[in-house]
Amino acid sequence: AQSVTQLGSHVSVSEGALVLLRCNYSSSVPPYLFWYVQYPNQGLQLLLKYTSAATLVKGINGFEAEFKKSETSFHLTKPSAHMSDAAEYFCAVSVRNEKLTFGTGTRLTIIP
Amino acid sequence: DAGVIQSPRHEVTEMGQEVTLRCKPISGHNSLFWYRQTMMRGLELLIYFNNNVPIDDSGMPEDRFSAKMPNASFSTLKIQPSEPRDSAVYFCASSFSIETQYFGPGTRLLVL
């Protein structure tokens, strides 16, 4: 069965600093990988996805993630944090059967 | 498109009462998912349908929970009888491909 592990349930960065949210996956077959963002009192919104094409994936709001098979990782980055990036971020994996398995989430706080 | 529509957005009920949550997926999508989100357990997949047929209900907590999808544009999640531990945010999501699920805004349920 597939799974994802998000390292760090809470991450704080200063406005303008690099954002790095970590995600490692486990899958016996080539996975599809996703990052979703959840703003307070809202549903989840897709940030970006990896579906076996380019390993560096660009998403909305300046975020990107790199699929590294050797490290079984799919970390999310953004060069410069903005106050509006404060939210909860979820990594998820699918092995093409439609069922997403989500990580436990990382709450990102931006320090002014 | 209006996106995934859920109703009600908030529900407060007393223990023992029946609760019905409703979802209208995005037109043209053929898969529908029900999730539950709590602080303690995170985001859990309860059940998902493909072409109106339940495919995996292994996440449904117990017999008090039931879900139906009578047609491609409507689904319900019913809890009968409700208990305080059912208090959570319930999300509905829909997708066409196996790649991207689109989430509704959620129903915040409080069982007193």
* Interface contact B45-A100, CB threshold 8 A: yes
Instruction: Note whether B102 contacts A94, CB cutoff 8 Å.
Output: no
- Output the pLDDT for position B99: 66
Tell me the mean pLDDT in the region B68-91: 96
Give the minimum alpha-carbon distance from A107 to chain B in angstroms, rounded to a whole number.
12
What's residue A98's pLDDT? 65
Query: Which token pair is A88?
Result: 């909860």
Could you read off the pLDDT of A58-106 as tens digits, one per residue?
A: 999 999 999 999 999 999 999 999 999 999 999 999 886 667 889 999 9
Strand A56-58 to strand A64-68: parallel, antiparallel, or no bridges (unpaired)?
antiparallel
* Residue B40 pLDDT level (bands cut at 50, 70, 90): confident
Task: Give the side-chain half-sphere CA count within 13 A for A40.
Answer: 5
Give percent of chain A above pLDDT 90: 76
Of A17-26, A39-48, A56-65, B94-103, which gets the smallest average pLDDT? B94-103
Q: Average of pLDDT values for B47-62?
A: 91
Distance between A47 CA and the closest CA of chain B, angstroms? 10
SS3 state at A51: coil
Question: How many residue contacts between A and B have a Cβ separation below 8 Å?
Answer: 47
Mean pLDDT, chain B, rounded, equals 93
Quickly state the pLDDT bin for B39 (edges 50, 70, 90): confident
pLDDT tens-digit readout, B12-37: 999 999 999 999 999 999 999 999 99
Q: First-to-last CA distance in chain B?
A: 36
Percent of chain A at pLDDT above 70?
97
pLDDT of residue A60: 94
**Predicted local distance difference test score (pLDDT) of residue A95:** 82
Chain B residues within an 8 Å CB radius of A43: 4, 91, 93, 103-106
How confident is the model at residue A91, as a pLDDT?
Answer: 96
The rounded distance, in Å, linking the Cα atoms of B45 and B67 is: 13
> Chain-centre distance of CA B34, in angstroms?
3
Contacts of A46 in chain B (CB under 8 A): 100-102
For the segment B97-108, the average pLDDT, to the nearest whole number, is: 86
Nearest to A105 by CA among B40, B49, B104, B96: B40
Nearest chain A residue to B96 by CA distance is A98
Q: Is the pLDDT of residue B112 over 90?
A: yes
Share in percent of chain A as helix, strand, coil (round to 5): 5, 55, 40
Interface probe for A, chosen from B43, B46, B92 (most Cβ of A below 10 Å), is B43
Q: What is the DSSP string of B45-78?
A: EEEEEETTEEEE-TT--STTEEEEEEETTEEEEE
Q: How far apart are CA A97 and CA A18, in angstroms?
A: 34
Residues of A with CB under 8 A from a CB of B: 32, 34, 36, 42-46, 49, 51, 90, 94, 96-102, 104-105
